[in-house]
Structure 1
Amino acid sequence: MKKALFLLTTGLLAAASNVNAAETLSPSIYAGASAVYVDYSEGDIDMDLGAILGRVGTQLTDYVALEARLGTGVSDDSLYGVELELNYMYGLYAKAGFENNGFYPYVVLGYTKGELEASYGGYHENASDSDLSYGAGIDYAFTDRVSGNIEYMSYLDKDGYELNGFSAGFTYKF
């Protein structure tokens, strides 16, 4: 699945980079924020965390954007007395998509680094990891400058655990 999505995303990015100059925008800068429902799963363990995520990006063409994101946890979860929280996550991503009547469906491919903290009875353990990340979403333009979006991302998938997220937010174009 991961390989198929990677190949699909790579193909879309390659196709989008070959657009004619007449179809390209002058690069525009945008910023936004999202509320993220984060799912941590490892074997039979499934914990739900909350995060906020900020993003800054540039729309290079009608089809391709580059984005930097930074997020932090805002709600924790506990299981069997062990509390889990997301300390931070950040990453760099490429987005490929197309506009259609105000909607902009897209795929995302990039890199995420994050840190989780587990605590139990006064003992704290931090663990950070990074991985190739991928996902898909859709933006909807409310105005020329303001859009809303929803997105699903697989942030980390390694060493027997997964960190996935579903987000909803907004973006403002400068």
Structure 2
Amino acid sequence: MRPSSALADKILPLDALLERLAPLRAGGGIVFTNGCFDLLHPGHVDLLHRARELGRVLVVGLNSDASVTGLKGPSRPVTPFADRALVLAGLASVDFVTGFDAPTPRELIEAVLPHVLVKGGDWPVESIVGRDAVERAGGRVLSLPLLPGYSTTETLRRALSLAEPARERSGS
């Protein structure tokens, strides 16, 4: 089964994304954030919603599977790129999703050149990749506070620790 066309239309390669953003550029309001979004949790949803409130459109740069593996290790991602992109596209706060293969989204940010660049509060503004390009172009860079208690890595650790006793009981 294929995703609905409305969702698929939100997942774009960079060239198509830039075409869609061109008419919106003059009015301002393009917001960009990025991440792995391996297991989407309430902290992600909250951050994306607050980021979207900062402009007219929210673009999410999504790490490719190879990029996630390079950053997080060989057991990640848990969820493949196409599935992560579809889940993000299904959120009302997300207007566009585009992938990137590099360890950082620097080139993607420089191509999109958003009016507002957003990351979660675990990233100090001075450490946010692409900050220099966005600020040179007159944009803003923000580190938004995180909703406490949510982490993909911690969720995976808990899930694996719950699975351990079950494996021991089954003799696997």
Flag the structure with more relative contact order, 1 or 2, with Cα contacts below 8 A and sequence separation at least 6. 2
Q: Same fold (TM over 0.5)?
A: no
Normalised by the length of structure 1, the TM-score is 0.25
Structure 1 or 2: larger strand share? 1
Q: When you count helix as a share of all residues, which structure comes out higher?
A: 2
TM-score by length of 2: 0.26
